[in-house]
Amino acid sequence: MKFNYQARNKEGTIQKGVIEASSKEAALAILQKYGLYLTILEREKPAPIFARNIKFFSNVSQKDVVIFCRQLSIMFQSQVPIVESLAAIIRQSEKAELREKLLKIQEEVEGGAKLSSALSTYPSIFSPYFLSMIRSGEASGKLSEALEYLADHLEYEYNFKSKIRGAMIYPLLVVIVFIVVLIFLIYWVLPPLMSILAENGTELPWSTRAIMSFSNFIKGWGWIIVVGIAAISGLFYQYTRGKEGKYLFDKNIIKLPVIGDLLKKIYLARFAENLSTLIAGGLPIAKALEIGGEVVGNEVYKDIIFQTRDGVRKGESLSSILETHPEEFSPLFVQMVAVGEKTGRIDSSLQNVVNFYQKEVDRGIATLISLIEPAMIIVMGIGAAFLLVSIFLPIYQIGNF
């Protein structure tokens, strides 16, 4: 059963959260063990039937995982035992859901489980790649280094996604403002204006007639269009969540001009980095390929990587298999893999590939942003000019009549 609690830590900070235990006494004992001074402990009330299982994403963000990795790495470097390290992180954490999960992880570790095994309880937070790196660190005795690397890796991905989101904010705002202005004109400006023009018998320019036709169409069919778009979007989303739909979507998106090339570089950089790190950590290449395929983020690449894994298990070389997929794996990528196979330093060769493609991706994003912003300004400027001319030209004609 679950209990809602409110407590103070040793620093006096109030913490709230949810803990799972067999009884109220057991929950109290667990919280006291973590150095928390309880003020409220109540059994969680079951949610109404209609509200259950309605949870679309975890409240534990990628940034939270980065901070967790860095904190745990620092404590391991200071030779703090793992249970005490987790307890300290739990006390410092301000996010209730993260604390709840870390409490369960600590409980498993106290019971004798390895950290990787305890973390695997939450696959939505800790990916197969993440868990493999932790297992590699546990096996080699370099868990602190593995955590530090994971923090750097996740932070890079987090900053990359933030950069993409930031680049899309301005164009999105421009589009929203344009749509709001258009709706305002259609529903509140054009109707009285059209009445005045009709009374005066003014011959309307073609641009004004086009705007009027569009206005009438939107007013008559607007809600149907909105519902239709929402329905089609929902069906498309559901279709692309399935294996066949996702594969088809991923196959076509990497064929798009500009964006497709950029996405290919992102997938190649991600795959190369994951494979390099896993091989350097002592993982067999076939197993590293399996994990790399799971986290590459594109079904087409995943399918090819799994085919490559099967070929490697049969004794074929990695480069010879990738060479048969020139559309997805560039000659440079294949050549660097071949060099790594010949020298026995495939992890080092792949890291060079990562460095190259990460720079290419950064340049590609900068170029895309530099193209999107002026293009949006030009398109919106033309649209605004067309609207103004369509509205004010008839008014000007009435004034001269």
| Span 85-104, pLDDT tens digits | 999 999 888 888 888 899 99
Tally the residues of the chain: 401
Checking if the pLDDT of 55 tops 50, the result is: no
- In angstroms, rounded to a whole number, what is the distance separating the alpha carbons of residues 129 and 104? 21
Measuring CA to CA, which residue among 360, 324, 317, 308 is closest to residue 340? 317
**4-32 per-position pLDDT tens digit:** 777 777 667 676 766 766 677 777 777 77
Query: What is the structure's pLDDT at 34?
Result: 62
Least confident residue range of 16-25, 160-169, 236-245? 16-25
Q: What pLDDT shows up at residue 46?
A: 52
Judged against a pLDDT cut of 50, whether residue 311 lies above it is answered with yes
- At 260 the pLDDT is 93
215-239 confidence digits (pLDDT tens): 888 888 888 999 999 999 999 999 9
Asked if residue 51 has pLDDT above 60, the reply is: no
- Helix 96-110 to helix 62-77 angle, to the nearest 10 degrees? 40
Q: What's the mean pLDDT in 137-154?
A: 87
Q: How far is CA 250 from CA 164, 303, 308, 400, in A?
A: 19, 11, 19, 58
Consecutive H or E run containing 211? helix 206-241
Predicted local confidence at residue 289, as pLDDT: 93
Mean pLDDT of the chain: 85
Average pLDDT on 21-50 reads 67
274 close to 291: Cβ distance less than 8 angstroms: yes
CATH topology of domain 62-154: Receptor-associated Protein (1.20.81)
Confidence band of 161 (pLDDT split at 50, 70, 90):
confident
* DSSP 8-state secondary structure symbol assigned to residue 297: S
Q: What is the mean pLDDT of residues 242-258?
A: 92
| Phi–psi pair at 42, nearest 5 degrees | -130, 145
Q: What is the pLDDT of residue 316?
A: 94
Q: pLDDT at position 399, please?
A: 66
Contacts of 14 (CB under 8 A, 6+ apart): 6, 7, 8, 39
**Quick one: which of 153, 129, 150, 147 has its CA closest to 292?**
129
pLDDT tier for residue 56 given thresholds of 50, 70 and 90: very low
Supply the pLDDT for residue 252: 96
**Mean of pLDDT values over 147-153:** 89
Would you say residue 38 has pLDDT above 80? no
Domain spans of the chain? 2-51, 62-154
The pLDDT of 247-257, averaged and rounded, is 94
> For the domain with range 2-51, which CATH number is right: 3.30.450, 3.10.20, 1.10.10, 2.30.110?
3.10.20
Q: Where are the alpha helices (DSSP H) in 126-204?
A: 128-140, 143-184, 190-200
268/332 Cα distance (integer angstroms): 11
Mean pLDDT calculated for residue range 321-340: 95
How far apart CA 12 and CA 141 sit, in angstroms, is: 36
Q: Is 141 left (phi over 0), alpha (psi -120 to 50) or beta?
A: left
Query: Percentage of the chain with pLDDT > 90?
Result: 35
pTM score over 0.75: no
pLDDT at 245 over 90: yes
Predicted confidence at residue 53, as pLDDT, reads 39
The residue type of 181 is: V
pLDDT (tens digit, 9 = 90+) per residue, 170-223? 788 888 888 888 888 878 887 887 777 777 776 778 888 888 888 888 888 888
Tell me what pLDDT residue 57 has. 44
Q: How many CB atoms lie within 10 A of CB 214?
A: 14
Q: Identify whether the C-beta of residue 274 lies closer than 8 Å to the C-beta of residue 129.
A: yes
| pLDDT tens-digit series, residues 112-142 | 999 999 998 888 889 888 988 898 888 878 8
pLDDT at 359 over 90: yes
